[in-house]
Structure 1
Amino acid sequence: MKTSIQIEVRPTEIDVMGHVNNAKYLEYMEWSREDWYNKAELPFDVFTEMGIGTVTVNININYRKEAKLGQKLTISTEPVRKGRSSFILRHEIVNEDGDLVADAEVVSVTIDLKERKSVPIPNELAKQFPG
């Protein structure tokens, strides 16, 4: 399942170069991931009830084009692949002209909340991935 959210770039997200600060793109992607989890019926409290958390362990991001104040951006999230305890979600940020602004692959791991060690991906999450 691919999901997307839309945002408008705010003044507090602009850096001294007059465009969106690089760290803000990670926030945009986090907001989109949260939306993806919710639409997959896997909000934070569902994982907590299972005694499981998800931890981001790697982000590979490509900055493709500037985003500026007032622009409307669409941030999409889709599952790419899964391993035993890790999984990858892909993000794309597109501006209102359809230009790719940034894209990234985010690797997360499922952990036992008490032991703080990796555990196999629960079936509820695994079924969201292709193959």
Structure 2
Amino acid sequence: MRTSITIEVRPTEIDVMGHVNNAKYLEYMEWSREDWYNKMKLPIDVFTEMNVGTVTVNININYRKEARQGELLTIYTESIRKGKSSYVLKHEIRNENRELVAEADVTSVTIDLKLRKSVEVPSALAKAFS
């Protein structure tokens, strides 16, 4: 499933170059990822009840076009690949003209919260990849 959120670039997100600081794009993607989990009916408390946590282990991001203060950005998130204990969510950030601003593949691993070791992706999460 593909989900999206829309945000307005705030003054505190701008760097000395006058555009969005590169680290802010990761934050935007994190907000969109949280929204994706909620829309999948997998909020944090559901993971906690399963004794499962998710850990980001790799982010591959490409910056395509600058974004500036006041612009509206839409961040899209979708599931693209699942392994035994890992999975990948793809993010796209597009401006009001639908131009690609940034894109990233974010790899996460599911872990046992008590043992702090990787575990198989729970079936509730695996369904989002079928």
Q: Normalising to structure 1: TM-score of the pair?
A: 0.99
1:29-84 CA distance string (max 9 Å, x none): 00000000000000000000000000000000000000000000000000001000
Look up the match of 1:15.
15
Q: Distance in 2 between matches of 1:126 and 1:50?
A: 14
Residue 117 of structure 1 is matched in structure 2 by 117
- Matched with 1:44 is 44
Is the aligned partner of 1:5 residue 2:5? yes
State how far apart, in whole Å, the 1-side matches of 2:45 and 2:127 are: 19
Classify the secondary structure of the residue corresponding to 2:61. strand
Cross-structure match for 1:92: 92
Kindly report the root-mean-square deviation, in angstroms, between the aligned alpha carbons of the 2 structures. Answer: 0.4
Q: Does 1:129 align with 2:129?
A: yes
Q: Supply the distance in 2 between the matched residues of 1:2 and 1:97 (Cα, whole angstroms).
A: 19
SS in 2 for 1:17: coil
TM-score normalized by the length of structure 2: 0.99
Q: Which segments of structure 1 move beyond 6 Å, counting only runs of 4 or more?
A: none
- For residues 86-114 of structure 1, what are the alpha-carbon distances to aligned partners after superposition, in whole Å with 9 as ceiling and x for unaligned? 00000000000110000000000000000
How far the C-alpha of 1:10 sits from its partner, in A, is 0.0
What is the count of residue pairs matched by the alignment? 130
DSSP-derived class of the 1:38 partner: helix
Percent identity at matched positions? 75
Q: Distance in 1 between matches of 2:5 and 2:34?
A: 10
Report the Cα offset of residue 121 of structure 1.
0.3
